[in-house]
Structure 1
Amino acid sequence: MKIYPLGVGGAFTKTNFHNNYIIHLNEKCLLIDAGSTLRYSLREAGYHYTDIDVVFISHLHFDHVGGLEEMIMQRFWQFNNGQHSPLKTTIIVHEKLLTPLKSLLSHGLANQGRTVEDFCNFVCLKEKEVYKIEDYSFTIFDTSYTHADGLFSFGFKLASLQSNIVFTSDVKRLKEANIIGQVDGNTVAIFQDVSFTFNGVHATLQEVLDYYPKEYYSKLYAMHYNDNVEQFQKVIDSANINIVKKGEILHF
């Protein structure tokens, strides 16, 4: 699989765009989250909304869902030779998040005689239920209340026959989230949000290093981090973890 980091920054980033990704799975493009910087990060990366086949939404903070309505609208209001040729947006979501997400979208979409379902196809998954994208298996795991109190949130595991990646989304209380429980012998990368300064809803680098066994460090890919990441380069190097960088393609 090929992974294009559209952005790697936190909610208030000014330089790194929001932590959203495009994953190429053979002929399909999977978008991971749709933050409010998506309209800029997609264009900078050379993509268009219509290039996306499937979207996964991890939770409802604005840096993960703030650009979703615009994407849905732009895909729906497509015209070919003057004829309306709508593209519905397929959204993967955990069953717990389906109703809150529909409610959020309904404020902008459920009007003029249309419903949210006129614009979207929802793939609603239960815990450990498998959704196939090309030759890959997509499963969601529940990290609710480990990012922010009272907030539904979810990570995912994406697997081929030979390997898999684990994507935490946003997590503070790693032990409660049981991320290690998602890792197995075929895991080649763990995409982990990391803050290099104290943060009430994101794990710090030290918390990440304390949680994971040292043999996992080389599989860790830090994301959703501070804009001044370069100030922590020595610490990063000594920890033997990887840093995901905006626009730098990863292959697994």
Structure 2
Amino acid sequence: MLGTGSAFAKTYFNTNALIYADHNTLLLDCGITAPLSLHQLGKPLSEIDAVLISHIHADHIGGMEELAFRMKFVHGRRPVLYIPEPLAQPLWDSSLKGGLLQDECPSLDDYFDVRLIRPGAKTELLPGLAVEPIQTAHIPNKNSYSFLFNATFFYSADLIFNPELLRNLVEERGCETIFHDCQLKPPGIVHTTLDELLSLPLPVQERIWLMHYDDTKPQYEGKTGVMRFVEQHRRYRF
């Protein structure tokens, strides 16, 4: 995990991740702190094969401008950008265009090999790694997606509590592991709170790892039931 913190955490980097599959590397979201976290891990940007974006907030796309410039002008590459189709135009028009637009680079395609993925459909991202984007609620009238990888690993990104979805993933679809955003103190408003996750059936809680938490996380150690915290700069195998 490149980071496990909330948008405003200072102790933890933004909740972004690297996924390794068959000697390839996918960057899952690229927030403001992603370039620094990669630097601290000694992971060169040039080793990233593809990027996957969940939604358009700075803690998830704030590092994309640096990634684009360095890939194009330092490494001479257009990395693959996987993005749910409804997010592609807003990513450029509402976020990246202001910094990246140049006479010779008038579009997102000048910086990335853009590959649109369809919500609800499985897409192979890398050899051995497939994803199903699931549209989920985060901000009213703003598209946001969670991801189900290889039908067994669910990554919430940012998600308002949806117990029906979580129960369906575990009870009907056989999901084995859930990395879920967790606002430690209520009210959640645009995130899921710890209290809400603690209300889930035990078989669902047993699969949940908590991420996207704030700087008070040490105060909640031992208070999360059977659920565990995802730790920054730690590698997990599933």
What's the TM-score once normalised by structure 2's chain length? 0.92
Q: Measure, in 2, the Cα distance between the counterparts of 1:44 and 1:124.
A: 31
Q: Measure, in 1, the Cα distance between the counterparts of 2:168 and 2:205.
A: 16
Higher strand share: 1
**What is the aligned counterpart of 1:242 among 224, 228, 237?**
228
Matching residue's letter, 1:29: T
Q: Is the partner of 1:234 in helix, strand or coil?
A: coil
Q: In the alignment, what sits opposite 1:200?
A: 189
The gaps in structure 2 that reach 5 residues or longer are none
2:36 is aligned with 1:40: yes
Q: Measure, in 2, the Cα distance between the counterparts of 1:165 and 1:244.
A: 14
Q: Measure, in 1, the Cα distance between the counterparts of 2:129 and 2:103.
A: 38
**What is the aligned counterpart of 2:49 among 48, 53, 64?**
53
Q: Measure, in 2, the Cα distance between the counterparts of 1:86 and 1:39.
A: 18
Q: In the alignment, what sits opposite 2:123?
A: 131
Task: Kindly report the root-mean-square deviation, in angstroms, between the aligned alpha carbons of the 2 structures.
Answer: 1.6
Q: Measure, in 2, the Cα distance between the counterparts of 1:110 and 1:209.
A: 46
Q: Measure, in 2, the Cα distance between the counterparts of 1:139 and 1:92.
A: 12
**What is the aligned counterpart of 2:71 among 75, 91, 98?**
75
Q: Is the 8 A contact 2:166 2:204 kept in 1?
A: no
Q: In the alignment, what sits opposite 2:109?
A: 117
2:218 is aligned with 1:227: no
2:150 is aligned with 1:180: no
Q: Measure, in 2, the Cα distance between the counterparts of 1:181 and 1:110.
A: 43
Identical columns (%) = 27
**What is the aligned counterpart of 1:86 among 76, 83, 86?**
76
What's the TM-score once normalised by structure 1's chain length? 0.87
Matching residue's letter, 1:140: P
Q: In the alignment, what sits opposite 1:102?
A: 92
Superposed CA deviations along residues 25-83 of structure 1, whole A, max 9, x for unmatched, are: 111101111110112111111211111111111111110010111111101112xxxxx
Superposed CA deviations along residues 175-233 of structure 1, whole A, max 9, x for unmatched, are: 47x343344554221010011102321111111122x3211212101000021211111
Q: Is the 8 A contact 1:157 1:182 kept in 2?
A: no
**What is the aligned counterpart of 1:164 among 140, 148, 152?**
152
Q: Is the 8 A contact 1:49 1:71 kept in 2?
A: yes
Specify whether residues 150 and 128 from structure 1 end up closer, same or farther in structure 2 by C-alpha distance, changes over 3 A only.
closer
Q: Measure, in 2, the Cα distance between the counterparts of 1:181 and 1:102.
A: 34
Q: In the alignment, what sits opposite 1:82?
A: none
